[in-house]
Amino acid sequence: MGRSYAVLGTGAIGGFYGARLQQAGLEMHFLLRRDYEYVQRNGLAISSIQGDFTLPKVKGYNSVKDMPRCDVVLIALKSTHNHLLAQLLPPLVKDGSVVLTLQNGLGIEPKIAALVGQSVEVLGGLCFICSNKNGPGQIRHIDYGQIQLAAYGLNYQPQGITTAMRQIATDFERANIPIKLEENLLLARWQKLVWNIPFNGLSVVLDATTDAIMADRHGQKMAEKLMREVVAIAARYGLNIPESFIQNRLEDTVKMKPYRTSMKIDYD
């Protein structure tokens, strides 16, 4: 029997990945807020470079009290809403559950681990995806989609590749979601910040999409300078990110379809 999943935050990230998992046959339960009535009537609609699809029926809820305890809980809330996790998580987990946070930032996993206890494994998922929420129950997937998966250990000690990571990777691969397993969560998080900090910030300051930043010589230089600053800070924590990583990320951004970052959308 397959694993059951709860999705906290059915937006650009949780809505897309959750819908793909349901499309692949996994048991999915979605926590909805403002979209609840719309999704109950119309389901979830995904517009994707990999093919559009609609889920006419989803198991949607407007309260975790009505949701079952699940094998895996996906956290896809904005991290500014993490103060709600103390109320949202406990009703959804059981001994042996796994909590996978798909959020950006540092210091997220220790707080989650403190809420769920030692019988629940905590994983970090770093999403390399361009996706937006266009309206109630409507997600637009623009480019990419890979998730880097790593396990959290006390004080971010590397945990290697765990059984839970392999099991979840199998589910995601079944849904045609590319997965890369990482041994060091903290290093993976800093690597993600090498792109997130420059391009999220500059998209707001310059009022620009990613392609516009890279097309402007001054914008590209600012992005590269900020990337080097992030790499330098990571090095202070003993985390080595090579020069080639910066160049690869810049090249990836040039190839990327024009993208309005999540911070730019929030700011606008």
For residue 248, the model assigns a pLDDT of 96
Active site residue 192: yes
- The one catalytic residue in 94, 111, 180, 192 is 192
Tell me the residue type at 158. Answer: P
Report how far residue 175's alpha carbon sits from residue 148's, in angstroms, rounded to the nearest whole number: 15
Residues lower than pLDDT 50 in the chain? none
Q: What is the DSSP letter of 237?
A: T
Report how far residue 92's alpha carbon sits from residue 86's, in angstroms, rounded to the nearest whole number: 11
- Burial state string for 61-88 with b = 16 or more CB within 10 A and e = fewer than 16: bbebeebeebbbbbbbbebeebeebeeb
For residue 1, the model assigns a pLDDT of 59
* Spatial contact of 89 and 112, defined as CB atoms under 8 Å apart: yes
Domain architecture of the chain: domains with CATH: 4-183 (3.40.50.720), 187-267 (1.10.1040.10)
Q: Both tokens of residue 11?
A: 């937006």
The set of residues, in sequence order, having a beta carbon less than 8 Å from that of 176 and lying 6+ positions away, is 20, 24, 50
Report how far residue 196's alpha carbon sits from residue 51's, in angstroms, rounded to the nearest whole number: 27
Q: Where are the beta strands (DSSP E) in 53-163?
A: 53-55, 60-61, 72-75, 98-101, 121-135, 138-151
For residue 197, the model assigns a pLDDT of 96
